[in-house]
Chains A and B, each alone.
Chain A
Amino acid sequence: MSDEINVQTIPITDAIAKPQELPLVEVNDVTMRFRMPTEKIDNLKEFFIKFVKRKIQYEDLVVLKNISFHINRGESVGILGRNGAGKSTLLKLISGIIEPTSGSIIVRGSIVPLLKLGAGFDSNATGKENIFLNGAMLGFSKKEMQEKYDSIVEFSELGKFIHMPLKNYSSGMLARLGFSIAVDVSPDLLIIDEILAVGDAPFQKKCADKIASLQEKGTTLLLVSHNAAQVKRLCKTALWIKDGEIVMYDDAIKVSDAYAADCQTQKS
Chain B
Amino acid sequence: MNTRKQYVRPMDGWWLKNPFYVRYMIRESTSVFVGIYAFVLLAGLLSLASGEAAYNDWMAAMTNPLVILFHVVALAAAIYHAITWFAVAPKVMPPLLTGKKRVSDKTITIFHYVIAIVLYLVMLGIAWKV
Chain B associates with chain A: no
Interface residues of B (CB under 8 A from A): none
